[in-house]
Each structure stands twice: as C-alpha cells, then as structure tokens.
Structure 1
Amino acid sequence: MEKEKTDIDKKLSRAEAFGIESADAIMEAAHMTYNAPRGINIVNACIAKLQEKIGEFQPKEVSRKRRKEPARAVLFGIKLANVTIGAAYLTDDVSMEMAIIRACIASLQQRIGSGEIKAVPAKPAYKKARYDKKDQLQEDTTAKEAV
C-alpha cells in the first residue's frame, strides 16, 4: 500500500515536471517571434486551448466583430497546445494527463503574470521617424509635379 502511494506520487511529480517543460517550450516559441504582443497572443491562445481541454475555459465577451479565421499567432498557439495535449494523452491514466495540462497552464499563467513577455509601446522618436517619412514623401512628389 505504501509502495503504491509512492509510485503514484512519483508519477504525478514526473507529470508535473513534463507540464512545466512543455510550458518552457511554449514560452521559448513565443520568444522566438521577437514580437511581444504576438508572443502574448500565442501563449494566451495556448492557455485557452488547454483550459478548454480540461473544461475550465470561460470565453470572454468581445465587444468588437470577431475575425472569420484566427490570426496566425493564435493558430500557432493552438497547435502548440495540441502538441502538449497529444503528449499528455500518451499516458495511460487520465489523472496524469490532467496533471500535465494543469501544470502547463499554471506555469504559463505564472510566467505571463510575472511579465516575462511585455508589450512595450514604441518610443516617440521611432514613431516620428516611421510615420513622418510617409508624409514627407507625399510632399516631395507634389512639389516635383508643381515644377
């Protein structure tokens, strides 16, 4: 009886470790975008898909019109979540599958909450350099046409 309990505890700890490793891989994929808002979208889509799998997902009310098909970042997050779900499904016990998914969700939420990926607004100098060029080009072409 005591041995069975320790075996179950070992399996659960391995399942949780695998869930955390899956979360690390998802975060690395989000960092590879080099675009913080896109990375946040990937992780949030992944969390939503994992929560949907275990029945804890509550859809948010959206005031704007929804897209016909999801953005590429969202699709990528869903695919990453499906990989985690598929790997968790390979375990023969449903409780282990749920432990993997719950550990992955908890790790992702903790890392997003800690601000590991932050959406940083563009600096005013960057905005000026980027958007003033368009205005300047239009003024130059009208000046050449007048001559």
Structure 2
Amino acid sequence: MGRLFGTDGVRGVANVDLTSELALQIGRAAAMVLLKESKSAKPTVLIGKDTRASGDMLEAALTAGLCSVGCNVLSVGIVPTPAVAYLVNKYGCEAGVMISASHNPCEYNGIKIFQGNGYKLDDALENEIEAIILDNAEK
C-alpha cells in the first residue's frame, strides 16, 4: 500500500481504491490520534458528505471506525465542504470529516479531515493516521 493522504485528504475510485474497509481503517486510526490529542475523553467528530452514491457506504464505515475507538459522531448529511469547516468550529467538535472528491468524476470519492478550528488537518497528524493504517496493513 502506497501513500494514502494527498494534498487534500484520501481520494480514489469508490469501492476500488477507496473501499469501506479503508474508510473503517481511516476512522479507527483518526480516532486513535484524536483521542491522544484531545482533552475530551470522548471527542466528537462531525461528518458531512456530498451527493455521490458511495457517500453513505463510506460514512457508515468511517463512523464505525471512529465509534469503535471511542469517538462520538455527529452526522450533518449532505453539505458543501466549507460547511463542515464552519460547523466543526460552531459546534465545538474536536474534528470534522468531509466525504467528497470535489471536482473529480462521480465514481471517485474522498475523505478530508478537519481540525476543531475548521482548518484542514495538519500534515503531522495526517502522517500519524497514515502510519497507523500502514503499520496495521503490514501485520
């Protein structure tokens, strides 16, 4: 498995590159990193998505991964990406996730993680999440 995170999260063809299994792993790894960084014993992660057909599947898997490690999830349904950045901060969530592949064709989808301040997750935390996933893949 190569590098997962690109310049704007993880993207790929849904059910080929970006599977429910990978979304579950991203959720679990993100929760592990978030729990380590958070002052809250049960951090809340806000999730939004666009209208792509694969969004529900990826949201369910991502939610399962986050909850399995101890996070709460607040789903806001179909929203534009900037809404996730805004709502994370407005509702005081520790992180947010947007499920969207932006301008890519409809068969693609993506997972973009935001910090609690509404900004894209910094590279160091993305690298930690990726390292957990890749380490588990080698086992």
Report which structure shows greater RCO (CA 8 Å, sep ≥6).
1
Same fold (TM over 0.5): no
Q: Rg bigger for which structure?
A: 1
Query: What is the TM-score with the length of structure 2 in the denominator?
Result: 0.31
Greater per-residue helix proportion: 1
